[in-house]
Amino acid sequence: MRERLLVAFGTLILVIVALYGIPRAYLLADGVQQIEVDQLNHSADFLAELIPERSNNQGVDQEYLAGLLEDSERIEHLDAAGELIVEAGEQLPEHPSDIVATRELPESEQLTLTRAGLHVQEQIVDAVTPVVVLGAGLTLSAGIVCLVMARKLSRPFQDLAAAARQLGSGRFDLEERDYKLPEAQAIGTALTSSARKLEQLLEHEREFAANASHQLRTPITALRLELEDLTYWPETPPSVVAELTHALGELDRLSTAVTELLELARGQRLGDGHTVNLRELLQDCVYRWARLAGERHRDLAVSVPDELTAVLHEGPVAQIFDVLIENALTHGSGTVELRAEDAGTHLRLSVANEGLRPERIDLFERRVTQGSGEGIGLAVASELATAVGGTLRLEPGPSTRFMLMLPQSQHRIPTTAGIRTSAE
């Protein structure tokens, strides 16, 4: 902003000085030129009267004429035939600005008086120089004033920009300041008010997250105790015990997922990742969705390099796969393929199906659907991918393939092997 103010003020000053100085300098130069011409004409008239009278009485020689001339002037006295009678003054080089005055004398004689153009130009420069110096002084003084004013005008907005950066970094304790500029004061008041509202909103969200965590964990814990108690009943058949044991594992996974989501909602960072066998991770995902896939007559396939491991956050990554598998079973067609590949510095995890690639460009944006869209599931998956340091994107191509790119700290050379699981 300060640079723009300086450019605007500087341009205005230059225009004003130019509008005043250029015409003024032109008028001065024209005035000096006219004065020089008038002076030379007066001198020529005087000499035209003096020389004939002097010639009749005492005669006119070079020494006498030289005493009547000023610097940078030359006089020539010619007879009727154009022959030079007498001359005085230095021989002047020809110049476009030379001033020449010619007078006719008695007996057809002629008098020529010349003033050097260089001398005229020096007089013009001497007259115009004060105007130029004054203009330069005014420009310099105005430039200093503009610099001071620009700094004074831009300082409030620089403070407001710093306050906005603080607000963007999560600091809501903005200092209230009084500005003389009404516009800056209005912006400062709006920033302070917004900071207070955001602080209140964040505090409400934190309270909600804490309350939700407590309210969700309590019934999950109670349900887990009841199911665990049922597994110890003698009347419970072994097949039911197996199902209850599986349900207990799902409850533990649900409790972990709730904890991680609430921590992310509170802005907390996830802990350090641990080494995970990707084959086991993807097989667990297939096992969870095998029943739904069987009901919809769909196949789930896994393709993972042998013993491929990586250091990552297992919970969020499993939740991302759950969202992508559910999306593929609901909106896709054909076999759903889960794949993991080592790409060197990154890990490539993908979920693909044979359905047509969606045309929407806002797949990862939160929105309300009418039952036929992806809803907020893909948005949550994208946010989880960002939280674990990766990216989730839809790959180009005729069919649907979602690719999760995760950085990895351990690099292994994979040997591709596929496992195909058919959901009955």
List, as one string, the DSSP characters of 269-324. Answer: PP---EEEEHHHHHHHHHHHHHHHHHHTT--EEEEEETT-EEEE-HHHHHHHHHHH
How many other C-beta atoms lie within 10 A of the C-beta of residue 300? 26
The secondary structure of residue 106, as a DSSP letter, is G
pLDDT digits (tens, 9 = 90+) for 51-88: 888 777 777 777 877 888 887 888 888 887 888 888 88
pLDDT digits (tens, 9 = 90+) for 143-170: 787 777 777 777 777 787 887 887 777 7
Structure tokens at 198: 């955001």
| Alpha-carbon gap, residue 407 to 202, rounded angstroms | 31
Q: What residue ranges do the domains of the chain occupy?
A: 2-127, 182-264, 273-421
Q: Is 83 exposed, middle or buried (0-12, 13-18, 19+ CB in 10 A)?
A: exposed
Average pLDDT over residues 386-396: 89
Q: How confident is the model at residue 354 (pLDDT cuts 50, 70, 90)?
A: very high
Q: 336-360 burial, b if ≥16 CB within 10 A, otherwise e?
A: bbbbbbbeeebbebbbbbeeeeeee
Q: Which amino acid is at 269?
A: R
Question: What helix, strand, coil percent values describe the chain, rounded to 5?
Answer: 55, 15, 25
Average pLDDT over residues 27-47: 86
pTM here is 0.47
238-265 and 377-387 helices, crossing angle to 10°: 70
* Predicted local distance difference test score (pLDDT) of residue 338: 93
Half-sphere exposure of 95 (CA within 13 A, CB side): 16
Q: Which residue has the higher pLDDT, 335 or 91?
A: 335
Phi, psi of 355 (to 5 degrees): -75, 160
* Predicted local distance difference test score (pLDDT) of residue 213: 66
* Predicted local distance difference test score (pLDDT) of residue 266: 58
Q: Which CATH number fits domain 182-264: 1.10.287, 1.10.150, 1.20.1050, 1.10.20?
A: 1.10.287
* Predicted local distance difference test score (pLDDT) of residue 359: 82
Q: Comparing C-alpha atoms, which of 70, 77, 80, 75 is closest to residue 55?
A: 77
Residue 204 pLDDT > 50:
yes
Q: Which amino acid is at 129?
A: T
Structure tokens at 399: 């069919």
* Predicted local distance difference test score (pLDDT) of residue 321: 92
Q: Which residue has the higher pLDDT, 76 or 254?
A: 76
For the domain spanning 2-127, the CATH number is 3.30.450.250
CATH topology of domain 273-421: Heat Shock Protein 90 (3.30.565)
149-153, 216-220, 334-338: which is most confident: 334-338
Contact 249, 241 (CB under 8 A): no
